[in-house]
Chain A
Amino acid sequence: MTPVVSIEDLHTDIALRRGVAHPVSGVSFTVNKGETLGVVGESGCGKTMTVLSIMRLLPPGGHISRGHIRFSDTDLAALEEDGMRAVRGTRVGMIFQDPMTSLNPCMTIGDQVAETVLLHRKVTRAQARQRAEEVLELVGLPRARERLDSYPHLLSGGMRQRVVIAMALACEPELLIADEPTTALDVTIQKQILRLIDELRARLGMAVILVTHDLGVVAGHTDRVAVMYAGKIVETSSTRELFANPRHPYTEALFRALPENVERDRALYAIPGLPPDLSNPPPGCRFAPRCGYATPECRAEEPKLTGDRHPFACFHPLGKAGQTAANPPAQPPRAQQGAPLLEVRNLVREFPVNSNGVLRRRIGTVSAVSDVSFGVRAGETFGLVGESGCGKSTVGRLLVADDAPTSGSITFAGTQITGQPQRALRELRRDFQLMFQDPYASLDPRMRVRSILREPLAIQRRGSAAEQERAVATLLDEVGLPRAALEKYPHEFSGGQRQRIGLARALALRPKLIVADEPVSALDVSVQAQILNLMRALQREYDLTYVFISHDLSVVRYIATTIGVMYLGKLVEIGPAEQVHATPVHPYTRGLIDSIPLADPEREQRKGQAGVRGELPSAFNPPSGCRFRTRCRLATEICAEEAPAMRRFSEQGQQAACHHPLRAAL
């Protein structure tokens, strides 16, 4: 095996207004030809700074203070800028996280791919364009030739990421660095892009560094893994070995925080505390303050990364798999009998699309939600899943009367919400609240936590000022924040803490129903575990009903009692969570489940090519008949002609709308 890049004792500093942060302190690894190294860790652990150091594209104030980056015969850490430019794009290519922003909006994709070639090779414009077309075909951009002159905004996220990959590969680099290449994409598209990177690596014989926070992505698409924590590699080995036998407590904690392996009657393991401040890291082992196994030795002395085939940096390594403590029990949400608290009947939401003419004629409709019906009983959690653009958030907004349906009805606790005048809705809103995905964007940055939490009480004139103050204090206790938080502003908190504030705000009026729209999608896995545990505990205490909207079936399987799967405005499958997850009936549900990367190399390998092909069609003039048919492997003529009706598939209430279900209907 010839190492393509070999990093030795890399230290990177970033000068901040106050002091210096050390996001990379003493990182060493090698990547061989034809091999993928996964660099995994939570946000802020230094993984992106490590790869940006290799590219020498550190943010302002950043520089490599020590160490070597040996890339064939040159040390990139010591190369001048001119020499480095000759390496970037030719010998090392890079793919970034967000394809929506990593392309120049004012330049055609053909020009952007051709630019890489023009910068490095002595070719004519026509030749560069020719090469751009070849590479775009290589990365699977359909109708590449026609699309050379398209601007990025005309392409979907997945297609844009293919363009970014094409740019990185145009000069056939020896090393490809992919920094969270699929984090911004839907899981079905994620699967396609990761598979593409695998294929290209094999075909071009590149070395690949895949940076990700997702253990599932690492499991299925890497040969070796390096786990980073607080600027250091804490454990590294072959992927199989690491997943079979994690030695470092941090690696174990990451595994235990994943909802996918946890039974629904167990709590998730949440790593206590926060990652350390990297301008002033703790002495000794940097994970010690959050580690359940730490001893005074760990806090005094720093463990070195030692070992031959499977090095780790820990004084108290874990032994064989299965030795770890079981997760503490937690009461699963109760599936309750009786009349539903929330009843949704034939819900339709269409958005008119008008022409730009003087008369603004209506030229069509976007069918965001089409004939969706379901019921949610008091005290249960209804999980609504689907890809972005499937209409799940629109349903969420309709449920809390933030938007009015085109037709259909929503009944809440016996009262029909739809068609109520604003005055009556104001009363009703006490009982249903919304919790948002991005707690940073959804909290007013100029309001202190005290005012944020008091506002709902003040609007609804709940109690005297003193009573409201007491209620706010209680709320903070309930969501596990210190009283000192009252005087702070949202930006002074971490993402997880902000989501706790979001939850407290939703709870302020003691609602019966909380509609949570992707409440944990922006959070790291350990923080996600904290929030999910908290939501569960509060549910039991206050007999809350949740509608939990998420793209992540693993999370929904864990938290929900009932799952509804949406596809392009339609509810395609609904039923008890375990049943839908274990034995789905609709081909889309099956594909969605197969697309989720599992933190288990063996199972990932067995899944192989399964998933969902193609991309979500537009909800403007959606496909006739079954809307999923354009991406379905089982589709026949009838699927185009007739929209399938909901049929029952189990005594427990599993239903699906499909002409070719994966098992027979009752």
Chain B
Amino acid sequence: MTRFILRRLLQSLVVVLLVTVIVFILLHLLPGGPARAQLGPKATAMAIANFNHQQGYDRPLLVQYWRWLTELATGNLGFSVSLNQSVLSLIGERLPKTLVLTVLSTLFALVVAIPLGVVQAVRRNRAADYMITFWAFVFYATPPFFLGVVLIVVFSVYLPILPAEAPQSSSLRVILSQPAGLILPVLTLALLTIAQFSRYMRSSVIENLAEDYVRTARSKGAGESVVLVRHVLRNSLIPIATLLGLSLPAIFSGALITEAVFNFPGMGQLFWTAAQTQDYPIMLGITVLVGLATVIGSLLADLAYAVLDPRVRFA
């Protein structure tokens, strides 16, 4: 098991390195460049050349990449000129907030979606199933910017019980001390996730209910609740584990649009700002982080498989 994890982590490092190479090249192919974004449209060619020289952007790409990589090896993700702050501290400031948002919404979604899927499977093709299916598709099909705005209109304008904006503070403690401000952004994200997870859960439970071992359990005299909880649930959670693993990058990268709608100071917003100013160090830093989250997420999904399904064991 440990050997398996070590091997996979090693493979992951290679994958993340390759991703950074590609992103590095793509970033430098973008027209404009950080100097123009930083110095404004009226900057002289001289000023731009100066800026590029200062930042080392006039050196060959390979040299730049190597420098970035050696810095990375010492734990330095670079410095953001536009925000006048080191990338590491920027991420350190934003990531916990995003995590509060995404982890809360994912947990909430799981808690709601798993029972919903089970109820749908048990009441398959009956009123309750059709109702849930209908709403799942509605939320699945609604873009978050629209859903977020609708929620704001309903809960902040018509019945003003919740704030329309997330708490604005650089301190996590302040944000957590105003939980009401988190409700709407969490809800926006969760509704989408619930819609997705409940569909998977429904089909997974339906599939498992038709399995022979369920009939065996019933033939032992097990009631429906025992059949569901003891036999079907664990077998049905296996595909959800994959889904969760695959959503890890989204958990780390934040929700670009939802954060924008609620003006939430998270990773999504940081990336948005960096993309507008073509701030290479921030974008690369986030790429590394999301890349790591992706490979670790799929590793975790595989490990969850092994825990849930005894047929999968790693040598």
Contact = CB atoms under 8 A, between A and B. Distances in A.
Nearest to A113: B220
A86 B221 contact: yes
A491 B230 CA distance: 36
A89 interface: yes
A115 B222 contact: yes
B7 interface: yes
Contacts of A102: 212-213, 215-216
Nearest to A356: B315
A358 B7 CA distance: 7
Interface string B1-38: 00110010000000000000000000000000000000
Contact of B212 (A89, A96, A106, A168): A96
Contact of B222 (A103, A119, A151, A356): A119
A620 B309 CA distance: 25
A357 B311 CA distance: 19
B311 A164 contact: no
Contact of A116 (B220, B234, B315): B220
Most buried by A among B213, B219, B309: B219
Contacts of B309: 105-106
Interface in B207-241: 211-213, 215-223, 226, 230-231, 234-235
Contacts of A115: 217, 220, 222, 230
A116 B235 contact: no
B215 A89 contact: no
Contact of B215 (A96, A120, A153, A357): A96
B223 to A, nearest CB: 6
Contact of B213 (A104, A151, A356): A104
A87 interface: yes
A485 to B, nearest CB: 31
A93 interface: yes
A contact residues, range? 20 to 34
Interface in B265-315: 308-311, 314-315
B215 A85 contact: no
B279 to A, nearest CB: 38
Nearest to B310: A151
A86 B222 CA distance: 9
B235 A106 contact: yes
B211 A89 contact: no
Given A105-B213, A356-B4, A85 B310 contact: no
Contact of A98 (B212, B220, B234, B310): B212
Nearest to A358: B7
A516 B290 CA distance: 53
Contacts of A86: 221
A89 B218 CA distance: 8
A445 B129 CA distance: 30
Most buried by B among A93, A104, A120, A164: A104
Interface string A267-297: 0000000000000000000000000000000
B211 to A, nearest CB: 7
A153 B221 contact: no
A457 B109 CA distance: 55
Most buried by A among B213, B215, B222: B213
B20 to A, nearest CB: 23
A103 B231 CA distance: 10
A570 interface: no
A88 interface: yes
Nearest to B309: A106
A90 B213 contact: no
A88 B216 contact: no
A101 B310 contact: no
Given A101-B211, A101-B213, A105-B213, A57 B218 contact: yes
Interface in A339-374: 355-358
B219 to A, nearest CB: 4
B219 A55 contact: yes
Nearest to A170: B220
A357 B3 contact: yes
A540 to B, nearest CB: 43
A113 to B, nearest CB: 9
A90 B220 CA distance: 7
Nearest to B237: A106
B310 A88 contact: no
Contact of A105 (B223, B310, B314): B310
A94 interface: yes
Contacts of B234: 106-107
A105 B226 contact: no
A577 interface: no
Interface string A477-494: 000000000000000000
B219 A104 contact: no
A196 to B, nearest CB: 18
Contacts of A57: 215, 218-219
A159 interface: no
Given A101-B212, A106-B234, A355-B315, A153 B310 contact: yes
Interface in B128-151: none
A87 B309 CA distance: 31
Contacts of B217: 104, 115
Nearest to A60: B124
A167 interface: yes
Nearest to B217: A104
A104 B215 contact: no
Contact of B221 (A87, A105, A151): A87
Nearest to A82: B223
B308 A106 contact: yes
Contacts of B213: 101-105
Contacts of B310: 105-106, 151, 153
Interface of A: 55, 57, 85-90, 93-94, 96, 98, 101-107, 115-116, 119-120, 151, 153, 164, 167-168, 355-358
Given A55-B219, A106-B310, 16 more contacts: A57-B215, A88-B218, A88-B220, A89-B221, A96-B212, A96-B219, A98-B212, A101-B211, A104-B231, A105-B213, A106-B235, A107-B230, A115-B230, A119-B220, A151-B311, A164-B216
20 contacts: A57-B215, A57-B218, A57-B219, A85-B222, A86-B221, A94-B216, A96-B215, A96-B219, A101-B211, A101-B213, A103-B213, A115-B230, A119-B220, A119-B221, A153-B310, A167-B220, A355-B315, A356-B3, A356-B4, A358-B7
Interface of B: 3-4, 7, 211-213, 215-223, 226, 230-231, 234-235, 308-311, 314-315
